[in-house]
Amino acid sequence: MNIHEAIDRLEYLIGHSRQIPLTRTVVIDQEEALACIDDLRLSLPDEIKQARWTLQEQQRLLSEAQAEAARTVGKAGERAQTMIGQHELVKRAEKQADAMLKDAALKAEETRRASDRYAWEVMQNLETQLLRTVATVKKGVEALRTPPGKPAKEVEVISSRS
């Protein structure tokens, strides 16, 4: 007999017992009432065990869910920290790249200026040498234009080495 049947039997016993006139009191069969109580006691532990198991299972599932939620929150926190770290790393890399680009632009400008100065100096030296060479050629041409009877002037040779 289960607990519900024992309760139904006790309820039937009380409901169908003799009532004392002018009161709400009823006379019930003691043996039958005690038998119903015994049936309740025998049925009660199984029901309580089942309820206790259900409660324990509920607590276990709740604990697992809380642990999983804590792991998920932890992972999300770690992920957020990683993303923040990566964001900071990207920011630092961008700043470093900007600084490197500025430095490279300054060095390129400095190199351009130095190469312009070098080219100007080379051109100045070349111009000086060419002017000396032209002067020497003019003197040679002049020396060769003199009439054949006149003695030739000595030609001054200017070395291209200065």
Tens digit of each residue's pLDDT (9 = 90 or more) over 90-141: 899 999 999 999 999 999 999 999 999 999 999 999 999 999 999 999 999 9
Res 157: pLDDT: 56
pLDDT tens for each residue of 7-41: 898 899 988 888 888 888 889 889 988 988 888 88
Q: Is residue 27 part of a domain?
A: yes
- The yes-or-no verdict on residue 156 having pLDDT over 70 is no
Q: What is the per-residue pLDDT for 161?
A: 54
Buried/exposed code over 79-103 (b: 16+ C-beta within 10 A; e: otherwise):
eeeeeeeeeeeeeeeeeeeeeeeee
Q: How many structural domains are present in the chain?
A: 1
Decide if 88 is inside a domain. Answer: yes
For residue 18, being part of any structural domain is answered with yes
Q: What's the length of the chain? A: 162
pLDDT of 152 over the 90 cut: no
Could you tell me the pLDDT band of residue 48, with boundaries at 50, 70 and 90? confident
Q: Is the dihedral of CA 75, 80, 85, 89 positive or negative?
A: positive
pLDDT score for 146 = 72
Residue 150 lies in a domain: no
The span from the CA of 40 to the CA of 47, in Å, is 10
pLDDT averaged over the chain? 86
* Domain contains 42: yes
The whole domain housing 13 covers: 3-145
Q: Is position 160 within any domain?
A: no
Strands (E) in 5-154, as ranges, are: 18-19, 26-27
